[in-house]
Each structure stands twice: as structure tokens, then as C-alpha cells.
Structure 1
Amino acid sequence: MEDNTFCPQHTFMQTLGDCTAQLAELKALVMALEHTDPAQLTLIVCDSYCCVQSFNEYLHYWRQNGFRGSKGSTIKHRLLWGKVADLKETLTNFHVVDTLAHQRIGIHVAGNTLADVAAKSAVAMAALQQNSFWN
């Protein structure tokens, strides 16, 4: 892969059960990190500001504090954030950035559009599996 190239073939989809959008975004971040090639410079673009901010600003502190927030309570999805922290330690050649969701113009349109299509496809696949004749 050349630098600065968007590669749709490097997209992955997983059907999720009933979950919140924030949990789905976090699971997508885990999947992206799991598929990151340590030998290549990788840019992970996410439209969840909460996920990106947590990853870039809070994760280090959460890990130091046993995945507890500033008020001492355990953070939501602690086990997944622990997995993210482990993956972050093993990877060095990547960046996680946020982009505005549902944009029609700008640099991240292709990735955001692909993410939206994948999310809608996963929802449709889950509905088909739930109502499948073959179940």
C-alpha cells in the first residue's frame, strides 16, 4: 500500500448484537487495531469523537488508575478499553484521528461513507440472521 492511499480492501465488518453506538464504535476501534500491520504507517479515522479522545487523551491515565475515571468509578467497557490499551502498547506506527460524521465534502468522505455503509450492512445482516428461515 502506498502512503496516503485509501484502501477499501482493508475494511472489516462484524455483526454485533444489540449494543449502543458507542460500544459499536469501540469494538470497531479494537478491530482496526487488531488488523493494523506494525510494519506500515497506518491512519485510523473514526467519526466517534468520544472514542478518539478517550484513546488519545485518557487511555494512559485510565490504565494507570485501574481503568477508573476521575471520580473513582470503573469506566464503561473496561475490558475492551484494556484490550485497546494492550494493542496500543504493541503498535507504534499508527495514528487515530477523528473526523466529522456524515460529511458530504472533505478529505475523509470516502472512509466515512464506507464506514456508514458497513454499519448499515451489519445491521441488515443481523436482522436477516435473526429472522432467517435457516435458524
Structure 2
Amino acid sequence: MEDNKVCPLHTFTQTLGDCTAQLAELKALLMALERTDPAQSTLIVCDSYYCVQSFNEYLHYWRQNGFGDSKGNTIKHRLLWGKVADLKETLPNVHVVHTLGHQHVGIHVAGNTLADEAAKSAVAVAAFAAVTRLSSKPDRD
């Protein structure tokens, strides 16, 4: 019987600035897809129903409809979803699945915990940078 080879978790960061949780999750999904080798079978685990359901169920229809919803309105984050759709076509071995966030048991806990820690760290760094900019102005006395 052949052993299944499992790749280690990959982590990466990017400063996002002020954005919603949905936009941050979508950008993280896009970053993961951009770093995926098309020849490798890849599992992306995400605790965002928005990203998982959109990737697996809606993306095909959005693309067919020019990234509009059933009422003809342009979907939010249309440009990013367009990039995700382009990448999805080139990555046939990518699977995006949902996991519950902030859990302490289960097979995806380690990855989800790393993602949460990275998000908290990014917020802390952004807050520190903002404070540093404010306090680094020269005195005018």
C-alpha cells in the first residue's frame, strides 16, 4: 500500500490595511491559490463560509453572468473573485473545504490556529505602525 504524502502547512503574510473580515479571507484565499503548484494536489482549509461556498458553488455562475448576482447586481469584490476564477481554471487539483473556526479539536486545528495567530499578529503590527507614525512626528517647539 502506497503512503499518502502530506505537505507541511505553508504560511505567508501580507499587510491588508483596513478591510472587512470577508475581504481579508478572500485575499488569503487568493494568496493561497497564487502560491499553489498546478501539478500538486492541494487542500485549502478555510473557516469562512463566504469563501468556501463562493469558490465551490457560486464562482462558475458568477463568471457566466459577468460577476453579477441573480438580480443583476455586481457582486462585492468582483475583481478579486475574477482573479480567483482565473486561477481556479488552472488549478484542477485544488480543493477548498470549510472548517469551524476557533475550535480546539479536529484535524484542521493546527492550521486554523496558525491563521488566527497570523491575523492577530498582523492587526497588532498595523496598530503599532499607526501609533509609531503618530508619535514619531517632530516636535514643533
TM-score by length of 1: 0.92
Separation in 1 of the partners of 2:76 and 2:97? 21
**Structure 1 residue runs without a partner (length 5+):** none
**Structure 2 residue runs without a partner (length 5+):** none
Write the letter of the residue equivalent to 2:109: V
Deviation by residue 1:79-131 (Cα, 9 ceiling, x = unmatched): 00001001101111111101011110011100110010010011111112222
Q: What is residue 47 of structure 1 aligned with on the other side?
A: 47
Write the letter of the residue equivalent to 2:113: T
Separation in 2 of the partners of 1:38 and 1:128? 38
RMSD: 1.5
- Helix, strand or coil at the partner of 1:132: helix
Identity of aligned residues (%): 77
Q: What is residue 26 of structure 1 aligned with on the other side?
A: 26
Write the letter of the residue equivalent to 2:6: N
Separation in 2 of the partners of 1:121 and 1:69? 35
Q: What is residue 119 of structure 2 aligned with on the other side?
A: 119
Q: What is residue 4 of structure 1 aligned with on the other side?
A: 6
Structure 1 residue 3, shift from structure 2 partner: 2.4
Q: How many residues align?
A: 132
Contact map agreement 1:15 1:125 (CA 8 A) in 2: no
Q: What is residue 101 of structure 1 aligned with on the other side?
A: 101
Write the letter of the residue equivalent to 1:117: E
